A and B are shown apart, each in its own frame.
Chain A
Amino acid sequence: MSAVELAGVTKRYGRTTALDDVSLSVRDGELVALVGPSGCGKSTLLMLVAGLLEPDAGTVSVGGRVVAGPGAWVPPEQRRVGVVFQDAALFPHLRVEDNVAFGLPRGRASQAARVAELLALVDLPDLGRRYPHELSGGQQQRVALARALAPQPAVVLFDEAFGNLDSGLRSTVRDATVAALRETGAAGVFVTHDQSEALAVGERVAVMRAGRFEHVAEPAQAFHAPATRFSATLLGEADFLPGRQDGAVVDTEVGRLAVTPEGAGDVEVMLRPHEVVFSADASGTAKVLRREFRGASYVYTLVLPSGAQVRSIQPHTVDVAPGSSVAVGVEAGHPVRSFPRGA
């Protein structure tokens, strides 16, 4: 059974179409990351699932029950969908424990035990008596998660939930969140515009653009064999080199490479900087144009004889001065992805 199922969902704001005939199925317990530029419709999708917006067409199901569609409408409070917001959205006038208990049946003796259990789950066992404003941003997000998990929802939606945290804290809170979700067995849908977050969190990644899905796949596949050039550049740094393909190989300026999908003719292949290697070589035909220091590594920009440029990530121990001649190769470990030229 699907935790969440969208079928042909469309949502318009006036003349803008935020979601255009979108379908997606999230399995029970599955974690899916929705990634895309701002305004691509990813937050709209979450709000439709939560019941905070009404779709113009299509149906939305949660836990096998149709919650929005022609003639059907289940109000948000009856959907069993948890939401964690970017601003945490803790009730400012309630203590942490009352925030967590908000979604639990009231007045039961078991309530206090459940709250304690949830606060322990998110690793904040002693903060129940505090008010939200007395917590740090990361603590607030974890309370928000505990609160969302309290009514045992079928799915928890995360709307840029880690976006307000600074980068060091972000991955810690994110990992704790994923661990807690796994423990409860709830499905999770993470909306983010951060590609590394999407790849790290999702068992599947859905790349969105202008209200449609460009590619829905497992992270490694989405990263190494993106469906479109847009997905390719959204999920990581990518350069495109022209080449001539024949079956499963392609001839490019940097040599003959294994390629997918099979085909023939003029193509462009995607190269990610970590796949491009080079060595200082006075007889090499390529030159180092510039390099960018990133702490642990250098990103070299190389110019090929045709004038095309590719980037290469190298450890900081590889020290080649701009202007040097180099020989360029590719070590991808998998067939590189080709796209029809000019597409």
Chain B
Amino acid sequence: MTSGAGRRASSAVVPAAALLVLLPVLAVTLGVLQAGAAPWQRVAGSGWEPLLGTTLALLALVLIGTLLLGAGLAWLTTAYRFPGRRTLQWLLVLPTAVPSYILGLVWSSLLAYPGPVQTTWRSLLGDDAPFPPVRTLPVAAAVLTLTLYPYVYLLARVAFRDQAATPYGAARTLGMRPLQAARRIVLPLARPSLAAGGLLVALEVLSDFATVQYFGVDTLSVGIYKVWRGQFDRPGATVLALLVLVLALALLAGERLLRRGARFSSTVRDTTPMAAVVLTGARAWAATAACSLVLLLAVGIPVVTLLLWSTTTGMGDTAGFLTATANSVLLAAQVAAVVVVLSLLLVHAARVDPRRRVQLGVQATVSGYAVPGPVLAIGALLALAGARTLLDRLGLPGGGGLVTGSVLVLVVVYTARFLALGYTTTEARLAGVSPSLTAAALSLGATPRRVLTGVHLPLARSGIAVAAALVAVDALKELPIVLLLRPFGFDTLSVRVWQLAADSRYEMAGLPALAIVTVAMIPVVLLFRGDDDAQLADDAVDVLPAADPAGEPELAGVAR
């Protein structure tokens, strides 16, 4: 049985991509089995239990925070009408462009003893006025919440709009007040989406070890970093990495559990707009103020602060800044290119080849988003060490270079990290292309390669560009992996921000941080500014202006 060249290529790509993601996981697991009991005792001096406790507490706080803030803002901006809502509803996605290690840096500096907040506090209340401690877990959780809530916000909005609009309208006509209907109808319907958003948030929290260190919070991932970079204790770091991995898998299982029984998610997209309540008077301005406050804390104040720092210090070490910028750009570009090509081949393979091993391979690759960055990094290092041993044993040269780290290793691990993002973005864009198109092309005798070049590529071009932009920006922002794996002396913008912050040279960090935030904002603005699906609801409101003298909420645009 002969196979087309394209199919051979895709049959090679799928297992290779799956291996890329699964090998680090396997390496960590095997590494722990090899290490025995000793590392468990000596990790971070006092064992791993306190780290686990802190991690769980942080996870709980950030999850509660992001779910409340994300779902609350999503509800406010879909079910109510208030001044500035149309602009605010997409601006509220913007905090995702400010990485947590930058937001944390800004706020830990602003809130520090010599910072402007405490200085003002003392000048108002006297030198001895007590100020709540800043370097604490709740403050770290607040910072993480402010940068991570957009995950929940976006998914909740889609759920509210696409699934809950009609049932909500029905509930209102059956006599329920808005909040009552929200609690009894909308919230249960949105549960799977909220769970999915929560999972993304939790995985980000698990990966982070930079932000929390500003606040003196020692999580498992902080442990990995300290044990690996500080004590060069490989088995110790591996044990901690396994704990993080187990936590991630538990979260994944939890999300699946919350999604089970969610058979009410309809396959037909409902385009009926949400019946919106027009807020008037003080309530309306309170809603506007609430959204603005979040934006101010998460984006406005940080960006202004970074601008001030950049203008007072300038570039400082110009050569260092330029080198870091060049490194960041090159790394991001390479990763984006590799990820996009791989993603397209994977999406394509999943489309043209229905065999189980191909489908499972693609699923395994996509599940890579659940492997936290530090675990990937440690796993990759262990795998490389294994490869070195193998090469040495075979008497082949070149093994040493594998372990000391190289930019190539960074590109590979970044690829494993961002493949899921690239895949889902490309696939989402191709989802508009009916599967029957692919099927028609194949049944007409087109080889998979021809389907790729003649049908999938021309129709998915915009998706590929979006995927490339998103991956490049995420690669630019990425910190944990590059901190763990970078070759000696290799600086990126994110590494520079982190190091300057660690040395408390906050102002010097202004320019590289500002560069990251500015670039990260571009795709967010381009993608979401046109987010106008609520147009219909708005139009209905314009047609039926609800002038209610009592200032009571009024049902304006009633869904059919």
Tell me, yes or no, whether A103 is within 8 Å of chain B by CB.
Answer: yes
Contact yes or no, A89 B436, CB < 8 A:
yes
Distance between Cα atoms of A173 and B437 in the complex (Å): 21
Which candidate, A80-88, A239-247, A280-288, is the interface stretch facing chain B?
A80-88
Q: Is B444 an interface residue (CB 8 A)?
A: yes
> Contact at B443–A75, with CB atoms within 8 Å?
no
B434 touches A103 (CB 8 A): no
Residues of B contacting A90 in the complex (Cβ-Cβ under 8 angstroms): 440
In the complex the two chains form, what is the Cα distance from A147 to B441 in whole Å?
10
* Chain A CB within 8 A of B445 CB: yes
**With A75-B4, A85-B439, A89-B440 as contacts: A54 and B448 at CB distance below 8 Å:** no
A91 to B1, CA, bound (A): 29
Q: Do A77 and B436 have beta carbons less than 8 Å apart?
A: no
Residue B354, interface by CB 8 Å: yes
> Considering the chains assembled together, what is the distance between the CA atoms of A47 and B442 in angstroms?
12
Determine if A82 and B444 form an interchain contact, defined as CB atoms under 8 angstroms apart.
yes
Interface string of B404-439 (1 = CB under 8 A from A): 000000000000000000000000000000101101
Partner of B445 from the list A53, A54, A77, A92 (CB cut-off 8 Å) is A77
Is B353 in contact with chain A by the CB < 8 A criterion? yes
Q: Does the CB pair B437–A103 fall under 8 Å? A: no
Docked complex: A30-60 residues within 8 A CB-CB of B: 47, 50-54
B500 interface residue (CB < 8 Å to A)? no
Interface residues of B in 439-482 (CB under 8 A from A): 439-448, 451, 454-455, 458-459
Question: What's the Cα separation between A78 and B353 when bound, in Å?
Answer: 13
Q: How far is the CA of A102 from the CA of B439 in the complex (A)?
A: 13
A contact residues around B354 at 8 Å (CB): 51-54
Q: Within the assembled complex, what's the spacing in Å between the Cα atoms of A223 and B177?
A: 55
**Count of interface residues, chain B, beta-carbon cutoff 8 Å:** 28
Kindly state the interface size class of chain A when it binds its partner: 35 or more
Residues of the B chain whose Cβ atoms lie less than 8 Å from the Cβ of A29: none
How far, in angstroms, from A39 to B7 measured CA to CA in the complex? 31
Chain B residues positioned under 8 Å from A230 (CB to CB) = none
Contact of B1 among A72, A80, A86, A159 (CB under 8 A): A72
User: Contacts A77-B448, A92-B459, A103-B446 known; A54 to B356 CB distance under 8 Å?
Assistant: yes
Interface residues of A in 293-330 (CB under 8 A from B): none
Which chain B residues border A91 with CB–CB below 8 Å?
Answer: 437, 440-441, 455
Are A78's CB and B445's CB within 8 A? yes
Determine if B437 and A51 form an interchain contact, defined as CB atoms under 8 angstroms apart.
no
Contacts of A74 in B (CB 8 A): 1
Determine whether the beta carbon of B439 is less than 8 Å from that of A83. yes
In the complex where A89-B436, A93-B458 touch, is A102 in contact with B444 (Cβ < 8 A)?
A: yes
Return the chain B residue nearest A80 by Cβ. B445
Checking B437, B443, B459 against A76 with a beta-carbon cut-off of 8 angstroms, the contacting residue is B443
**CB of A79 within 8 Å of the partner chain:** yes
Select B443's contact among A54, A77, A93, beta carbons within 8 Å.
A77
Residues of chain A lying within 8 A (CB to CB) of residue B269: none
Indicate whether A103 sits within 8 Å of B445 (C-beta atoms), given known contacts A54-B356, A85-B439: yes
Interface residue from A51, A144, A153 paired with B442 (Cβ < 8 Å): A51
Say yes or no: A150-B444 contact (C-beta < 8 A), given A74-B1, A75-B7, A77-B4: yes
Given A83-B439, A89-B436, A89-B437: A73 touches B445 (CB 8 Å cut-off) = no
Is the Cβ of A79 less than 8 Å from the Cβ of B353?
Answer: no
With A54-B355, A89-B434 known as contacts, the answer to whether A81 contacts B446 (CB < 8 A) is no
Asked if B447 and A77 sit within 8 Å, CB to CB, the answer is yes
Query: How far, in whole Å, are A163 and B282 apart by their CA atoms in the complex?
Result: 54
CA distance A102 to B444 in the complex (A): 7
Question: Measured between C-beta atoms, what is the minimum distance from A61 to chain B in Å?
Answer: 14
A291 to B356, CA, bound (A): 55
In contact, A75 and B444 (Cβ under 8 angstroms)? no
Fill in one digit per residue for A232-258: 1 if any B CB lies within 8 Å of its CB, else 0. Answer: 000000000000000000000000000
Residue pair B446, A77 in contact (C-beta under 8 Å): yes
B192 to chain A, nearest CB (A): 18
B3 at the interface (CB under 8 A from A): yes
Once the chains are docked, how many angstroms separate the CA of A159 from the CA of B90? 41
Complex-state Cα separation, A54 to B360, whole angstroms:
13
Give the nearest-CB partner of B458 in chain A: A93
Beyond A77-B4, A77-B446, whether A102 also contacts B459 by CB under 8 A is no
* A151 within 8 Å of B (CB atoms): yes
B residues in contact with A103, CB < 8 Å: 444-446
Shortest beta-carbon distance, A181 to chain B, in Å? 16
Q: Is the CB of A102 within 8 A of B355?
A: no
Complex Cα distance A102/B2, Å?
A: 21
Given known contacts A78-B445, A87-B434, A103-B445, is B440 in contact with A147 (CB within 8 Å)? yes
List the 3 closest pairs (A to B, CB-CB), nearest first.
A103-B444, A89-B436, A76-B442
What are 13 pairs between A and B in contact, CB < 8 Å? A51-B443, A73-B355, A75-B353, A77-B442, A77-B445, A77-B447, A77-B451, A82-B443, A86-B436, A90-B440, A103-B445, A103-B446, A159-B436
Beyond the given pairs A87-B434, A151-B444, 17 more chain A to chain B contacts, judged by CB atoms under 8 angstroms and listed by A's residue number, are A47-B439, A50-B439, A50-B442, A52-B443, A73-B1, A75-B352, A75-B442, A77-B445, A77-B448, A80-B445, A83-B436, A83-B440, A89-B436, A90-B440, A92-B459, A102-B441, A103-B446
